[in-house]
Structure 1
Amino acid sequence: MARDGYIVPADPQASLKKKTAVSRSWILLDCTGEGTILDVDKYAIMHRVQIHARDLRILDPLLSYPSTILGREKAIVLNLEHIKAIITAEEVLLRDPHDDNVIPIVEELKRRLPPVNACNIQGDGRENRSGHNDVEVSEEDESPFEFRALEVALEAICSFLGARTTELETDAYPALDELTSKISSRNLDRVRKLKSAMTRLTARVQKVRDELEQLLDDDDDMADLYLSRKLATASSPVSGSGAPNWLPASPTIGSKISRASRASFATIRGDENDVEELEMLLEAYFMQIDGILNKLTTLREYIDDTEDYINIQLDNHRNQLIQLELFLSSGTVCLSIYSLVAGIFGMNIPYTWNDDHGYVFKWVVILTGIACACLFVLIVSYARYKGLVGS
């Protein structure tokens, strides 16, 4: 269709080239793992996956939106850090496929999206009906397409945040140990930057954790993510309605309904409100994110302990300076008294009682010095008794 834009085959080598800043660039991956690069506008994307503009705005790289997982009628809108994707029951649309952080996700989707016996229809139209293969992969076929894509995204974001946390720990712990051994402006500035990076990373991890926790707490939100179940229900003869209007836009529509029905048959058996499969999937990655958050919390506590230790050291140095100042002040007072007495007796003033008694001045000076020394000891003892200086 003309309004869907110009579609070109995905070139695996193009992803290794320098990333181009094209905000309209998407990659479409179908159930066979085949990818095509789409250079389309937002209206074509909205028409293809049947979502509103406000949902697509969440995926705009120019806007800053927190991590979000939204379940819509025919799509899952996924915004997890650099992973901005739209997942339907049969295909995945991933934004900015040339981004260095997105390239590994594209490769992983190509590897893990195609089930062994649900999407192995070859170009000659023949399908492998080997009973042995069906037995081996029957467990894998029960997982709907959207859950496999969602699992790849959650695994990628957990690995990404875990790697960032490990890098931060590798830099932070030696810097904190160095700061405790030597307090300097360089070490303080280094720890300040690491603490800022830890605060930002903690906020990002916390948002992903909160989003997963919110999904786990609401069964209705989790039920909205069962796209294959909705597609199979809508296309079943019981529903009395055919395929949705948007499905013919897909190149593999001829086999989509049957494959979606097989993929979700085990999911819809008996209970349409059963969300146990998705709950186990989300809980697994919730535990990983929670573990990453615990590592950051431990790092924050270590930083806080280091700050307390530094403050104690600074208080101790401050007390030592106060102690030194007290000693100097006490010595200055005593020396002033000694100088005052010596100055009085050293003045050229005639004293009648000083005639033929020159030894008096000598003893007065000696006794004054002894008295000043005793006064200094008394002041220091009183300061120690009151806890003003260390013993």
Structure 2
Amino acid sequence: MRARKSSSEEELNQTTIFPPQTRRKGIGIRKWLVVSESGQSHLEDIGKHSIMKRTGLPARDLRVLDPILSYPSSIFGRERAIVINLEHIKAIITATEVFVLNSKDPAVVPFVQDLQNRVMCSNVAAQRATEGFDNDMEVTEKESQELPSFHAHHGSEKHANLDISQLPHLSKDTSMPKMKMKGSSPMTAVDVAGAAGTMMLPFEFRALEACLESACRCLDYETSTLEQEAYPALDELTSKISTLTLERVRQIKSRLVAISGRVQKVRDELEHLLDDDNDMAEMYLTEKLVSQPLDQASLSGELDNDSINLHDEREEEIKTNGGESLSTIKPNIEELEMLLEAYFIQIDGILNELSTLREYVDDTEDYVNIMLDDKQNQLLQMGVILTTANLVINAGIVVVGLFGMNIHISLFDGVPGQFWGTALGTMGGVVALFYIALGWGKTNGLLA
């Protein structure tokens, strides 16, 4: 009975101390918005270990996305995923999916809509480009098939002197059909396919661009709002110094410091990525996903002539570069580098606007300090003048005190006119001493 009672009491205590919601959060299950490469999105309750298994991320990278903890803005490129922690955006990007945390946040909803529209529009554009390319290839193949019938109909002897340049859709090399695009030189089908592939960004870069654009838009909006509030308040402070305006400027300066720190962190993160080619190469998730089956097939099968030639070219390149290994060869990261440079310039422009506002605040503070110093100098001059007036008045009081003493002198036996003469002479002497003191102060630079 005691054993049953103790076990039931333990279960009751566990239920009381750790309710179901707390136990569920302890497991690490959170609601993630999953956006696929087709643009479709749905909510999933994914645990910590499940998200680690699907993305290949370690636990320390997931802590960066924890909303309870405070981490600065950061972008990590891993083997199978990209971790994004920019302002209000906390997401994990893979080659086929995007996992967004806190999708119900009002600040995250526009980002999710922009991401879906961007992915859908890119898919539609890719589909149209593929259909147009197939149509152009069909037309080119038909034109190449009509060439033998043209010679067969007119005879080879009669048209032996035919200028092939008159046929714009033909080339000297008839082994590969060529087509002429608008505004470009003739290109082979392989070249067109390669150009179409370079024009379309991979899925992870489209998602990364949406994250960067949303973060830049958020910072730009906060900067514009701060500028609209700061400049009128600073102008008002220069015209009228009061406790209310000083409090407003203090709050504006605090916001300015906070926003500048956030923008500077994003700028430093982008600059770090642009300086490290290996980190940018890690972000090519689609390319790594496609190259994995090819690498496995190349290891299991035999090398063909093209792969042997490519290997020989790589060996020659390594010899010319001083014997560097294949891992040290610089990857082709121009596509991602151009993308990051565009948003680096935008972030740098926002930081310049904040720096200009900071300089304006500093100039206003200097101007206010100068005004306060001028007021203080005026008060000091007023104090000197009042002290001088008090000194000369005290001198007159001394004279009056001497005449008020109970001592008999011959001046008291005179007519009343002598009294008024003495009084007026004392007052005139006091005024004369006052102006003499002011003149002496101005001569010595004590008074302005």
TM-score of the superposed pair, with normalisation by structure 2: 0.69
**Is 1:86 matched up with 2:92?**
yes
Aligned identity (percent) is 48
8 Å CA contact retained: 2:238, 2:364 = yes
The equivalent position to 2:117 in structure 1, one of 105, 111, 122, is 111
- Looking at structure 2, the residues matched to 323 and 143 of structure 1 have their Cα atoms a distance apart, in angstroms, of 73
CA distances 1:52-108 after superposition (whole Å, capped 9, x unpaired): 000010001111000000011111111001101111112111111111111111111
Greater Rg by CA: 2
The equivalent position to 1:70 in structure 2, one of 61, 72, 76, is 76
CA distances 1:275-302 after superposition (whole Å, capped 9, x unpaired): 1111111111011111111111111111
Tell me the CA shift for residue 347 of structure 1: 2.2
8 Å CA contact retained: 2:277, 2:330 = no
SS in 1 for 2:61: helix
Tell me the amino acid that sits aligned with residue 274 of structure 1: N
CA distances 1:292-331 after superposition (whole Å, capped 9, x unpaired): 1111111111111111111111112112211211111111
Tell me the CA shift for residue 372 of structure 1: 2.5
- Looking at structure 2, the residues matched to 131 and 272 of structure 1 have their Cα atoms a distance apart, in angstroms, of 32
8 Å CA contact retained: 1:319, 1:389 = no
Instruction: Name the residue aligned to 2:391.
Output: 333
Tell me the CA shift for residue 237 of structure 1: 4.6
SS in 2 for 1:295: helix
Tell me the CA shift for residue 23 of structure 1: 7.8
Tell me the amino acid that sits aligned with residue 157 of structure 1: A
The equivalent position to 1:51 in structure 2, one of 52, 57, 68, is 57
SS in 2 for 1:348: coil
8 Å CA contact retained: 2:29, 2:48 = no
Instruction: Name the residue aligned to 1:273.
Output: 331
Instruction: Name the residue aligned to 1:100.
Output: 106
Instruction: Name the residue aligned to 1:166.
Output: 224
Tell me the CA shift for residue 42 of structure 1: 1.5
Report which stretch shifted further, 283-292 or 138-147.
138-147
Mark the runs of 5 or more structure 2 residues left unpaired by the alignment.
Answer: 1-27, 137-191, 301-328
8 Å CA contact retained: 1:73, 1:227 = yes
SS in 2 for 1:236: helix
**Is 1:342 matched up with 2:400?**
yes
- Looking at structure 1, the residues matched to 277 and 119 of structure 2 have their Cα atoms a distance apart, in angstroms, of 25
**Is 1:178 matched up with 2:260?**
no
**Is 1:131 matched up with 2:137?**
no
CA distances 1:10-46 after superposition (whole Å, capped 9, x unpaired): xxxxxxxxxxxx9812111111111121111221111
The equivalent position to 1:311 in structure 2, one of 366, 369, 379, is 369
- Looking at structure 1, the residues matched to 363 and 68 of structure 2 have their Cα atoms a distance apart, in angstroms, of 39
Instruction: Name the residue aligned to 2:342.
Output: 284
TM-score of the superposed pair, with normalisation by structure 1: 0.79
SS in 1 for 2:72: coil
Alpha carbon RMSD of aligned pairs, Å?
A: 2.8
Instruction: Name the residue aligned to 2:206.
Output: 148
Instruction: Name the residue aligned to 1:41.
Output: 47
Q: How does 1:243-282 map to 2 (within 5 A)?
A: 273-282=331-340
Mark the runs of 5 or more structure 1 residues left unpaired by the alignment.
Answer: 1-21, 122-126, 243-270
